[in-house]
Amino acid sequence: MKRTHNPFQFREIPVDGPFCNRHLEFSDLVSRAQAGAAVVMYSPRRYGKTSLIRRVQAELAKEGVLTVFCDFFGVTTADDVAHRLAKSVFELTRSREPLFAKVVRLFGGFRPVLKPDETGTFSLTVETVGRKVDPMARLEETLAALEKFTTDHDMPVNIALDEFQEITEVAAAVQIEGLLRQYVQKLRCSFFFIGSRRRILLDMFNQRSRPFYQSAVNMVLPPLPLAEFGPFLSGLFREGGMVCAEADGGRLAGLTACHPYYTQKLCFFLYEKGASEVSGPLINHALGDLLENETPVFEAIVQGLAPRQIALTRALAVEETGSVFAADYMARHDLGSSGGIQGALKKLSRMDLVEKAPSGEWKVVDPILKLWLIRQAG
């Protein structure tokens, strides 16, 4: 079998790229958008949420839906929220004259600027124009413009807000959350609220005191099913000219707990070994490459934790348990007092580093971080 090109990638998968499963989630999201509903979709990081939403929006666009995609990851201020919303609408309409000209007039507080980049194409940036206003006032102006944009034409609109929970980390977060909810209620469009810090996102939509309480349908994005993922991987290896038995495809998926991003990355490193056939030793070498590649990320995570939090995370990596506060478990892993562990568990859960599984056992969320911590523990 002749090797051709590496069929694996660990960036966002293009809408026309190879996609494993997600048929049910895809059809549900399309159906709910068509019905004008709001969906809050959550999963651990790098589960393919963004790729799935992009694919859903591409399908909606074929049906004449205007699809806005706005990423709130790393958002810092109310003004930043406004900028990102305006830019996402400019991006959508930039190739749709005269709709673009209309949007420029609607979002009068911002000016779209096209600048050439190193690829020879033009990237769009947004600059503030006019008088200097309070950030919350700027955000309200932007949301009012967004409302007018969704009502001034007959085309349906779908708005996806990625890493939506990040607004809770911004100054004046309570006011921002309330203002967004006020306008979401009025906007004539469907919404996808997407996030990977699940505890925070779910609190936003399921706590009675929060503005977004019960305003969207909950949808969890689970791991890919092993029964489909293994054969899918074997097929991709075959496309690249490398023999991979379905059992080895299943082993690769199992090593990463069917985590889409890590599985793609593991298979990428494996293919780069240059062999004609997948084997056990090659899989082990590729897993070592993956762990080494993720080490700077994991070290940064650990360095950001308090000592008690580090100890508990390591303990749960080595030994999952439903009895974190059991005296023998705490002694075995040198965890100190139950009061300190209670605080650490609350913080780690909120950071989405650990979670309580349906079985009742606490565990590390990230399967490769878990393997890395086990290796670090020796």
Render pLDDT for 101-114 as a digit per residue (tens, 0 to 9): 999 999 988 998 88
What's residue 209's pLDDT?
A: 94
Higher pLDDT, 195 or 17: 195
pLDDT tens for residues 24-73?
999 999 999 999 999 999 998 888 899 899 999 999 999 999 999 999 99
pLDDT surpassing 90 at residue 115: no
Over residues 217-227, the pLDDT tens digits come to 999 998 888 99
Does residue 21 carry a pLDDT above 90? no
**Which residue is listed with tokens 């990977």?**
196
β 66-71/362-364 pair status? unpaired
Which residue in the block uniquely carries the two structure tokens 């019905």?
Answer: 35
The share of the chain scoring above pLDDT 70, in percent, equals 97
The H or E element spanning position 217 is strand 217-220
Alpha helices in the chain (DSSP H): 23-34, 49-62, 78-93, 99-106, 135-151, 173-186, 198-206, 226-239, 246-255, 260-271, 280-303, 307-318, 327-332, 338-350, 367-377
pLDDT above 90 as % of the chain: 75
CATH 3.40.50.300, domain 23-220, yes or no: yes
Closest by Cα among 155, 114, 148, 107 to 129: 107
Sign of CA dihedral 158, 162, 165, 171: negative
The stretch 356-373 carries a mean pLDDT of 94
Q: Output the CATH code of domain 226-300.
A: 1.10.8
Dihedral sign computed on CA atoms, order 134, 137, 141, 146: positive
152, 196, 175, 192: which is closest to 48 by C-alpha? 196
Task: State the pLDDT confidence band at 346, using cuts at 50, 70 and 90.
Answer: very high
377 pLDDT band, cuts 50/70/90, is: confident
| CATH class held by domain 304-377 | mainly alpha
pLDDT of residue 90: 95
User: Rg of the Cα trace of the chain?
Assistant: 23
pLDDT of 71 reads: 96
The position carrying tokens 């590649």 is 293
Whole-prediction pTM: 0.89
Residue 192 φ/ψ, nearest 5 degrees: -120, 115
Residue type at 229?
Answer: F
For the chain, the first-to-last Cα distance in angstroms comes to: 40
Structure tokens at 219: 């949808």
Q: Where are the domains of the chain?
A: 23-220, 226-300, 304-377
> CB neighbours (10 Å) of residue 213?
14
Confidence tier at 302 by pLDDT (50, 70, 90): very high
- Contact between 204 and 212 under an 8 Å Cβ cutoff? The reply is yes
CA distance 374 to 378: 7
For residue 271, name the pLDDT band (cuts at 50, 70, 90).
very high
pLDDT of residue 205: 95
Greater confidence, 180 or 97?
A: 180
Q: Annotate 361-377 with b (16+ C-beta within 10 A) or e (fewer).
A: ebbbbbbbbbbbbeeee
Residue 275: band (very low, low, confident or very high) from pLDDT cuts 50, 70, 90: very high
Q: Tell me which H or E stretch contains 158.
A: strand 157-162
For residues 90 and 100, the answer to whether their CB atoms sit within 8 Å is yes
Alpha carbon distance 335, 324 (integer Å): 9
* Fold equal for 226-300 and 304-377: no
For residue 111, give the H/E element and its range: strand 110-116
Closest CA to 67 of 105, 45, 34, 43: 34
Give me the pLDDT at residue 298, please.
Answer: 97
What pLDDT, on the 0 to 100 scale, is given for residue 1? 67
pLDDT tens for each residue of 117-166: 777 677 888 988 877 789 999 999 999 999 999 988 888 999 999 999 99
**Given pLDDT bands bounded at 50, 70 and 90, which one contains residue 367?**
very high
Tokens of 54: 């992009």
**Confidence at residue 16, expressed as pLDDT on a 0 to 100 scale:** 62
